[in-house]
Amino acid sequence: MCKKLISINDLSAGTNKYQILHNISFDINEGEIVCLLGQSGSGKTMTALSILNMLPLNVMQTSGTILYDDKPFDENMRGSFISMIMQSPASCFDSVFTIGAQFKDILLSNNKEYSIDKVCAELEKVELKNPHDILNSYPFQLSGGMLQRVMITIALSLDSKIIIADEPTSDLDITGQKEIIDLILKLKQENKAVLMITHNLAVAKSCADKIAVMDKGRLVDIFNKNELLAENRHKYTKELIAANNRLYTNKWNIDLGENYAEM
């Protein structure tokens, strides 16, 4: 039986004026990829920030609990136990410093040893060629896909058990998206747990073990990927499936959504 790493029970959060999250409950197990699926503004990223204990100053958790390996949150868990691959990687690095300098700072601030040889070996694992050149480069000298790979390498170097990936494919072309999805699947092979945040059903289908659907701050549906087309799916899930099917409809009768997922 897989070990439960994150357990969220009746999580609610909001400001003084309105509620953002309503009674969210789900688990993340070791070696499992959970996709949090929903349109923009549905509460996906706010759920992830709640898990990281990094809610904006004007937002507070109003009820519920989050347990990390059956323990309450501890500041030391961030980085060592759980880390995040951010959306829009170009905005996550400081253009004044080299990748190597920022990599070193992140590892040392999390009490991890920094070794150029070890970091280069990790960069090669995510198929980044010439790792020494990468470390000596500034962020603006690398493509979005390369920066996303660097962020994945940082998470691997921190040896986090859980990695939250917030729309990691949104700024990439189709080839770059496929490469990042393949890397996320490799994280699972290393027994890492992944919470993938996406609005793209094809992305969810391509990598998820479990799909959790959010709408207007509520978790409306959760199921194993092979249960996607079951009759008991929530109305909103069925609407997402129908919208996805319309998006990939074409006169050649080719299901581009399935082709995307199997690339």
Q: Which residue has the higher pLDDT, 167 or 7?
A: 7
104-154 tens-digit pLDDT: 999 998 888 888 998 999 899 888 889 999 999 999 999 888 898 898 889
DSSP, residue by residue, 141-186:
GS-HHHHHHHHHHHHHHHT-SEEEEESTTTTS-HHHHHHHHHHHHH
Tell me, what's the pLDDT at 1?
Answer: 63
Question: Is residue 162 scored above 50 in pLDDT?
Answer: yes
Look at 256 and 243; give whichever has higher pLDDT. 243
CA distances from 262 to 38, 59, 179, 206, 235 (A): 21, 39, 12, 7, 26
Question: For 191-215, how does the pLDDT look when each residue is reduced to its tens digit (9 = 90+)?
Answer: 899 999 998 888 888 889 999 999 9
3 state DSSP class of 106: helix
Bridge-partner residues for 12, per DSSP? 63
State the pLDDT at residue 138.
96
What is the Cα–Cα distance from 78 to 98, expressed in whole angstroms? 23
pLDDT above 50: residue 263: no
Q: What is the rounded average pLDDT of the residues 70-88?
A: 88
Q: CB under 8 Å to 110, separation ≥6 — which residues?
A: 79, 80, 158
List, in sequence order, every residue forming a beta bridge with 78; answer none if it has no partner.
82
Using CB atoms within 10 Å of the CB of residue 7, give its burial: 0 to 12 exposed, 13 to 18 middle, 19+ buried: middle
pLDDT at position 51 is 95
Task: Say yes or no to pLDDT of 259 above 70.
Answer: no
Whole-number Å distance between alpha carbons of 126 and 72: 32
What average pLDDT does the segment 19-23 reach?
96
258-to-38, 125, 209 alpha-carbon distances in Å:
19, 28, 16
* Percent above pLDDT 70 for the chain: 93
The dihedral formed by the CA atoms of 197, 51, 89 and 59, expressed in degrees to the nearest 10? 100
Its pTM stands at: 0.86
- Whole-angstrom distance, CA of residue 5 vs CA of residue 188: 14
pLDDT score recorded for residue 136: 95
Residues 198, 204 contacting (CB under 8 angstroms):
yes
Mean confidence (pLDDT) of the chain: 88
The CA-to-CA distance between both ends of the chain, in Å, stands at 31
pLDDT at 211: 96
Higher pLDDT, 111 or 250: 111
Question: What are the chain's domains?
Answer: 33-48+74-257 (3.40.50.300)
Is 68 a residue whose pLDDT tops 50? yes
For the cut 80, the answer to whether the pLDDT of residue 262 exceeds it is: no
Question: Would the pLDDT of 172 be above 90?
Answer: no
